[in-house]
Amino acid sequence: MEDEALGKPPQARSAKIQVSHLDFYYGSVQALYNVSLAVPQNQITALIGPSGCGKSTFLRTLNRMSETVRHTSVEGEILLDGENIFSVDLVALRRRVGMVFQRPNPFPKTVFDNVAYGLRVNGGTRGAALADAVEASLRRAALWDEIKDKLHKSAYALSGGQQQRLCIARALAVNPEVLLLDEPCSALDPISTAKIEELMFTLQENCTLVIVTHSMQQAARVSSHTGFFLLGRLLEFNETNILFKRPGRKETEDYITGRFG
């Protein structure tokens, strides 16, 4: 099997997440076949591939969000820091592995309450400490200066790009070790996209990021490693510059050069 080679990317630093032989089923329909990969710590890993190839499905298994869909089943192993995620507490896992969605999905609450939600629901933080944490998260998401006067306005009053950064700030507030982003820029204009890419760069210092994207350029710009999915299989996984310059497989080359049907 070739996934022995896939499992360990060259010069990988310590793997934050180690996925081995992952199969995923929606009912009786298999969506992922024997996916193995190691997500390197404090780096950005990009997942690319044509629509319907299973990128989102894969991403959502990493924080077990896939379990919210009824009648799904999963086989294989996912280790987070060497620990099997299927045997740890679900709530604790999701606090460690945050998620940002394709379309901005703020809660129908104020900007402040959106960012504070994760801290409140996990108990503890209140009053001044809460306000400080909210400010810190908004600063990390490079949003503070733009909206510090709108903290107590509805989150829906922000622009789409601001809403998406708000959602990132909301995810950052609970200090996740891993941040999963599923096409976070697909609904955004180029300027907002650039801001979010910049933001991801700064975040990798103390966070491991996995991003699904349809933009080859985005994957090439931001990620250190890239995985190419096709029909539920991880066909190729390598350092981004290698994968884009000298793809190991014909299918990958076809896809990244746009020759893919």
Partner 1 sequence: MGASAETLTGKPAPGGKGQVRTFFRRLRNGDEIAHIFTLVFALTILLLACLLVYELYAHSAVSRHKFGWSFLLSRSWDPVLERFGALPFIYGTIVTSVIALLIAVPLGVGGAIFLAEFAPTKMSDGLTFIVELLAAVPSVIFGLLGIFIIIPIMRESVDPFLQSHFGWLPLFQGPVYGVGFLTAGVVLSIMIVPFILSISREVLLAVPAEQREAALALGATRWESTWQAVVPYARVGILGSIFLALARALGETMAVTMVIGGTPSISSSLFAPGYSIASVIADQFTEATGQAYLQSLIELGLALFVLTIILNGLARLLILATTKRGTAH
The site for partner 1 (CB under 8 A) is made up of 63, 65, 68, 70, 91-92, 94-95, 98-99, 101, 103, 105-110, 113, 117-118, 121-122, 152-156, 167, 170-171, 173-174
- Shortest distance, position 116 Cβ to ligand ATP, whole Å: 30
Binder among 6, 17, 22, 31 for ligand ATP (CB under 6 A): 31
Site for ligand ATP in 62-101 (CB under 6 A): 69
End-to-end CA distance of the chain: 27
Tell me if 55 contacts ligand ATP by CB under 6 A.
yes
Q: Which of 191, 148, 197 is nearest to 168 (CA)?
A: 197
Tell me if 52 contacts ligand ATP by CB under 6 A.
yes
CA separation for the pair 43, 139 (Å, rounded): 21
Q: Which region, judged by CB under 6 A, interacts with ligand ATP, from 44-52, 86-94, 146-154, 246-254? A: 44-52
Tell me if 213 contacts Mg ion by CB under 5 A.
no
Cβ–Cβ < 8 Å for 35, 231: no
Tell me if 163 contacts Mg ion by CB under 5 A.
no
CA separation for the pair 247, 225 (Å, rounded): 13
Tell me if 57 contacts ligand ATP by CB under 6 A.
yes
Q: Nearer to partner 1 by C-beta: 94 or 233?
A: 94
List all residues 6 or more positions away from 7 whose beta carbon is below 8 Å from its beta carbon: 18, 20, 36, 37, 38
Binder among 43, 56, 192, 238 for Mg ion (CB under 5 A): 56
Cβ–Cβ < 8 Å for 122, 92: no
Which residues would be at the binding site for Mg ion (CB under 5 A)?
56
Which residues would be at the binding site for ligand ATP (CB under 6 A)?
26, 31, 49, 51-57, 69
